[in-house]
Protein backbone atom coordinates (compact mmCIF):
# COMPACT_ATOMS: atom_id res chain seq x y z
CA UNK A 1 0.00 0.00 0.00
CA UNK A 2 1.14 3.51 -0.69
CA UNK A 3 0.98 6.54 1.53
CA UNK A 4 -2.27 7.85 0.03
CA UNK A 5 -4.06 4.56 0.72
CA UNK A 6 -2.65 4.55 4.24
CA UNK A 7 -4.00 8.07 4.74
CA UNK A 8 -7.48 7.07 3.56
CA UNK A 9 -7.57 4.01 5.81
CA UNK A 10 -6.30 6.06 8.74
CA UNK A 11 -9.06 8.66 8.26
CA UNK A 12 -11.74 5.95 7.99
CA UNK A 13 -10.43 4.16 11.07
CA UNK A 14 -10.10 7.39 13.02
CA UNK A 15 -13.68 8.34 12.11
CA UNK A 16 -15.05 5.00 13.28
CA UNK A 17 -12.98 5.23 16.46
CA UNK A 18 -14.28 8.75 17.12
CA UNK A 19 -17.91 7.65 16.65
CA UNK A 20 -17.43 4.73 19.05
CA UNK A 21 -15.67 6.98 21.56
CA UNK A 22 -18.52 9.50 21.37
CA UNK A 23 -21.14 6.79 21.86
CA UNK A 24 -19.32 5.30 24.86
CA UNK A 25 -18.80 8.69 26.47
CA UNK A 26 -22.50 9.49 25.94
CA UNK A 27 -23.54 6.24 27.63
CA UNK A 28 -21.22 6.85 30.59
CA UNK A 29 -22.31 10.48 31.03
CA UNK A 30 -26.03 9.60 30.82
CA UNK A 31 -25.63 6.76 33.33
CA UNK A 32 -23.81 9.07 35.72
CA UNK A 33 -26.50 11.72 35.24
CA UNK A 34 -29.33 9.27 35.87
CA UNK A 35 -27.61 7.77 38.91
CA UNK A 36 -26.48 10.93 40.70
CA UNK A 37 -27.94 14.15 39.34
CA UNK A 38 -31.43 13.36 37.99
CA UNK A 39 -32.89 12.37 41.39
CA UNK A 40 -31.81 15.73 42.85
CA UNK A 41 -33.36 17.90 40.13
CA UNK A 42 -37.01 19.03 40.06
CA UNK A 43 -39.29 17.40 37.48
CA UNK A 44 -39.48 20.35 35.02
CA UNK A 45 -35.68 20.60 34.81
CA UNK A 46 -34.81 16.89 34.58
CA UNK A 47 -35.57 16.45 30.82
CA UNK A 48 -32.90 19.01 29.96
CA UNK A 49 -30.27 16.66 31.33
CA UNK A 50 -30.05 14.30 28.36
CA UNK A 51 -29.33 17.00 25.75
CA UNK A 52 -26.74 18.50 28.09
CA UNK A 53 -25.25 15.03 28.55
CA UNK A 54 -24.99 14.73 24.77
CA UNK A 55 -23.15 18.04 24.45
CA UNK A 56 -20.86 17.13 27.36
CA UNK A 57 -20.11 13.73 25.81
CA UNK A 58 -19.22 15.41 22.51
CA UNK A 59 -16.78 17.68 24.32
CA UNK A 60 -15.28 14.82 26.33
CA UNK A 61 -14.87 12.60 23.28
CA UNK A 62 -13.25 15.45 21.36
CA UNK A 63 -10.74 16.05 24.14
CA UNK A 64 -10.00 12.33 24.53
CA UNK A 65 -9.64 11.83 20.77
CA UNK A 66 -7.33 14.81 20.48
CA UNK A 67 -5.16 13.58 23.36
CA UNK A 68 -4.93 10.07 21.89
CA UNK A 69 -4.02 11.34 18.42
CA UNK A 70 -1.43 13.71 19.88
CA UNK A 71 0.24 10.84 21.74
CA UNK A 72 0.22 8.71 18.58
CA UNK A 73 1.75 11.49 16.50
CA UNK A 74 4.51 11.97 19.08
CA UNK A 75 5.18 8.24 19.35
CA UNK A 76 5.23 7.43 15.63
CA UNK A 77 6.66 9.32 12.65
CA UNK A 78 3.40 9.78 10.73
CA UNK A 79 5.00 11.61 7.79
CA UNK A 80 6.78 8.39 6.86
CA UNK A 81 3.50 6.44 6.52
CA UNK A 82 0.89 9.01 5.47
CA UNK A 83 0.46 11.70 2.83
CA UNK A 84 -0.59 15.13 4.09
CA UNK A 85 -4.36 15.29 4.18
CA UNK A 86 -4.69 18.98 3.39
CA UNK A 87 -1.56 19.45 1.33
CA UNK A 88 1.92 20.39 2.38
CA UNK A 89 2.50 23.21 4.81
CA UNK A 90 3.71 26.38 3.19
CA UNK A 91 6.60 28.24 4.64
CA UNK A 92 5.73 31.79 5.54
CA UNK A 93 7.63 34.38 3.57
CA UNK A 94 9.69 36.71 5.65
CA UNK A 95 9.02 40.38 5.37
CA UNK A 96 12.23 42.23 4.82
Question: Which range of residues forms the domain containing residue 43?
Answer: 3-77
- How sure is the predictor about 95, in pLDDT bands with cuts at 50, 70 and 90? low
- Measured CA to CA, the distance from residue 91 to residue 31 in angstroms comes to 48
pLDDT of residue 33: 94
In a domain, 41, yes or no: yes
Tell me how many domains the chain contains. 1
pLDDT by residue (tens digit) across 12-50? 999 999 999 999 999 999 999 999 998 898 988 888 999
pLDDT by residue (tens digit) across 63-80? 999 999 899 888 988 878
- Measured CA to CA, the distance from residue 85 to residue 63 in angstroms comes to 21
In a domain, 68, yes or no: yes
First and final C-alpha spacing in the chain: 44
Amino acid sequence: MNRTTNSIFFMLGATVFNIILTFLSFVVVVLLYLKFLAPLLPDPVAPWGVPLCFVLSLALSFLAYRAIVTVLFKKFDMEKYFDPIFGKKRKAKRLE
